[in-house]
Structure 1
Amino acid sequence: MAVILFIAAIVSWIACFLLIYYKHVHHKFSADQSGSGPQKMHHGATPRIGGVPIFAGLLSALAALYLGEWHVNSLFFVLAILPVWLAGIIEDVTKKVSPLKRLLAAFVAALLGMWLLDAKLIRLGLPLLDHLVSSYIVLNALLVMLAVGGITHAMNIIDGFNGLAGTVVLMILSALAYVSYQVGDVFLLGQCIALIGATLGFLFWNYPRGTIFAGDGGAYLWGFMIAEICVMLVYRNPSVSPWFPLLLVIYPVWETVFSIYRRKIIRGLPAGLPDAIHLHSLVYKRLVRHMIGSKEAAHIVKRNSMTAPYLWGLTAFSIIPAVLCWSNTPLILLFTGIFILCYCIFYAMIVRFKIKPWMTVGERTSESDENHKLSRDAA
């Protein structure tokens, strides 16, 4: 496994280096400009095709696993990933693939996963529903599409600041690797290690400097792989609680659900409309921005990089209980509810300017008109 980790990491690292070094060749179609959207909190033109080196690192590791006697099906993951990864990469380059089309690509990938990897959901701990989905393949397919497509899209929602999504992915994959090891599922352990390595190679360049972004290609690849591993872990190992994956991914999933609620229900806007009042955006504007008021490039990058640790800490409130209680469904559901409550309290505190002094990393300045407008929008 150490060799697999090294192969994935070094290939991803080299591919990132080449994309950054030669960004002058491809920046016209592959770069994000600062200020080009409500969620662009970076400086300068930055390549957003990090999904390419992540995929390259993963592919090299899965090829190595394919040659091992225990992992002859590893390359099936590649075939299942392709629809959603290609949709994300095409969006990164053309900016013309709508969220609906990317979601449909995730549904197609989920169906491929059912066929190629036998990734099914037939055990949710609800007897009637379990009977229905195990008896009718169409219902099972719909449930798998909803679960895999939802997690895949949710991972893209939290990809907004240097190191945020990548480190959350590492935390989730580490938990999945631990439980896979505990139940003796070597195949899934190998998939986790391969993606961990590919992500580490990318994060070297992404955090804290933000010299390359994962983009939709990287975020959708992360989300789909995590979703497939979660589905297969529960399907292949009866000792794992069917709700264990929910607690693992509750941060991106709840961020998505909450975003739909505040856009569609509260504000009457399209659910897919981008905005700058996600939790990570509010942390940047309310908790981090006041540390350094300058608009110099170095200060912008520093503020960006100091945002993610807040969300890493929040994510730990779901990952740690999930690892400790991976076979205990009642405790998992309890901790899921506690996490949602903590998220909502934290969000409300930031929106209403009820921030505690110990939560800020520097002295806060006076509340600006922009902050008051943001407060009204988020309320």
Structure 2
Amino acid sequence: MDEMILKLFISSFLFSVILHLSVIFLAKKYRLFIDSEMDKKPQKMHTLPTPRAGGIGIFAPFFWGLVLFYLYHPQPLFLGLFVGGSIIFMSGIIEDFNASLNPKTRLILQCLGAGFFVFLSESYLSNLGFGIELPAYIGIPFSIFAIVGMVNALNIIDGFNGLASGITLLALVCLYFLLPHSLIESCLIVILIASVLGFFIFNFPWGKIFLGDGGAYFLGFVLAGLLIHITQTPLNGETTPNISPWFGIALLIYPFWEVIFSIYRRKFIRHLSPVQPDKLHLHTILYKRFLKHNAKTSLFIVLSVSPFMILSTFVSSNDLFLLLISLAFILIYGVIYSRSTLFARKKR
């Protein structure tokens, strides 16, 4: 099994590297997927025109693996990830083509992709931990909401070289070491790790290519889908291992809380639309006020968040500990954010 996993990793990594090299070459030659110099998005933190189609080099190897696995080991999870992920990826890659979708259309596509995943994979949030069970008519829409939330959470933190992909890699490695390596889900995770790593080496630290909306949406979708599946669905006929539904929140508490806090900040403090982008995310503030360097900002945040992610993996079956880890992060985040904005006010 270990030899097969190594072959999967190497082949997926090489496939991803070749695709990313091809995308970088073709994008620059034919001006495809290139950030416009006139693009004034608040989250834009680079000045040189750069291809933003890194999601293609992650999407293709993973979906090739899904097709092969489904042919030899047909499982509802693979079909759910394939159909739902294709719709989610499409909702982002259209943006990367400079053919902008309005927020309502994007949200509808994301809900559709999440809905297909829940329906086809037969995985949804029914157990919330602490003995709380949800009926299907509540658990299914709640699951769709959670998936769409994580899709946008990964996109929110995709502002610096290696930030979103670094958090994703760390989360996937934690998942891999948590699951028995004999599970087919572990093989899927290996393919995704290799695919993301193939992107990461071109993105960090120099930013030769970006995830784009397609890549960020897709990674958020797959992470949310896998976490729902492994915390709610018996694996190979048994609950192996016993993973708390709070594990997903604690593992991805940084993007999870970033999107929750961003909605609160925009809606209730600044009285703006919750979907309107701004320059007030924690990573942007840390970059502008203190670090002044794209890649160093990503490295600082990933290293700061990693203890919470690793600790949550060690206590993955304990609802209370995972809740406390999440609350500790939220408290520290609040202190850092308030101190950083106070520093900004004093500078004025």
2:222 matched to which residue of 1? 225
1:102 & 1:315 partners in 2: Cα distance? Answer: 29
> Contact 1:54–1:198 at 8 Å: present in 2 too?
yes
**Could you give the per-residue CA deviations for residues 97-154 of structure 1, whole angstroms, max 9, x where no partner exists?**
1333323222212221122211121111254x51x42xxx332221111111111111
**Residues 316 and 339 (structure 1), Cα distance of their counterparts in 2 relative to 1, 3 Å cut:** same
Does residue 335 of the first structure (1) align with residue 333 of the second (2)? no
Which of the numbers 42, 51, 62 marks the counterpart of 1:38?
42
**Residues 66 and 10 (structure 1), Cα distance of their counterparts in 2 relative to 1, 3 Å cut:** farther
1:259 & 1:58 partners in 2: Cα distance? Answer: 30
1:2 & 1:15 partners in 2: Cα distance? Answer: 20
1:314 matched to which residue of 2? 304
**Residues 284 and 79 (structure 1), Cα distance of their counterparts in 2 relative to 1, 3 Å cut:** same
SS of residue paired to 1:307: helix
1:297 matched to which residue of 2? none
| Structure 2 unpaired stretches of 5+ | none
**Residues 2 and 98 (structure 1), Cα distance of their counterparts in 2 relative to 1, 3 Å cut:** farther
Following superposition of structure 1 onto structure 2, how do residues 20-99 of structure 1 map, counting pairs within 5 Å? 20-27=24-31, 29-33=33-37, 36-66=40-70, 68-69=72-73, 74=78, 76-99=80-103
The letter for the 1-side match of 2:127 is R
Q: Shift in Å at residue 165 of structure 1? A: 0.3
Which of the numbers 282, 286, 290 marks the counterpart of 1:287?
290
Q: Shift in Å at residue 215 of structure 1? A: 0.6
1:275 matched to which residue of 2? 278
> Contact 2:110–2:148 at 8 Å: present in 1 too?
yes
Q: Calculate the aligned-residue CA RMSD, in Å.
A: 2.2
The letter for the 2-side match of 1:56 is A
Does residue 197 of the first structure (1) align with residue 197 of the second (2)? no
1:253 matched to which residue of 2? 256
TM-score (norm 2): 0.90
**Residues 270 and 69 (structure 1), Cα distance of their counterparts in 2 relative to 1, 3 Å cut:** closer
Larger Rg: 1
| Structure 1 unpaired stretches of 5+ | 290-302, 354-370
SS of residue paired to 1:124: strand
**Residues 104 and 16 (structure 1), Cα distance of their counterparts in 2 relative to 1, 3 Å cut:** same
The letter for the 2-side match of 1:335 is I
> Contact 1:7–1:61 at 8 Å: present in 2 too?
no
Does residue 162 of the first structure (1) align with residue 158 of the second (2)? no
> Contact 1:65–1:72 at 8 Å: present in 2 too?
no
1:124 matched to which residue of 2? 128
Q: Percent identity?
A: 33
Q: Shift in Å at residue 173 of structure 1? A: 1.0
The letter for the 1-side match of 2:93 is I
2:11 & 2:65 partners in 1: Cα distance? Answer: 6
2:295 & 2:245 partners in 1: Cα distance? Answer: 35
SS of residue paired to 1:40: coil
Following superposition of structure 1 onto structure 2, how do residues 332-371 of structure 1 map, counting pairs within 5 Å? 332-353=322-343
> Contact 1:46–1:213 at 8 Å: present in 2 too?
yes
Aligned residues: 338
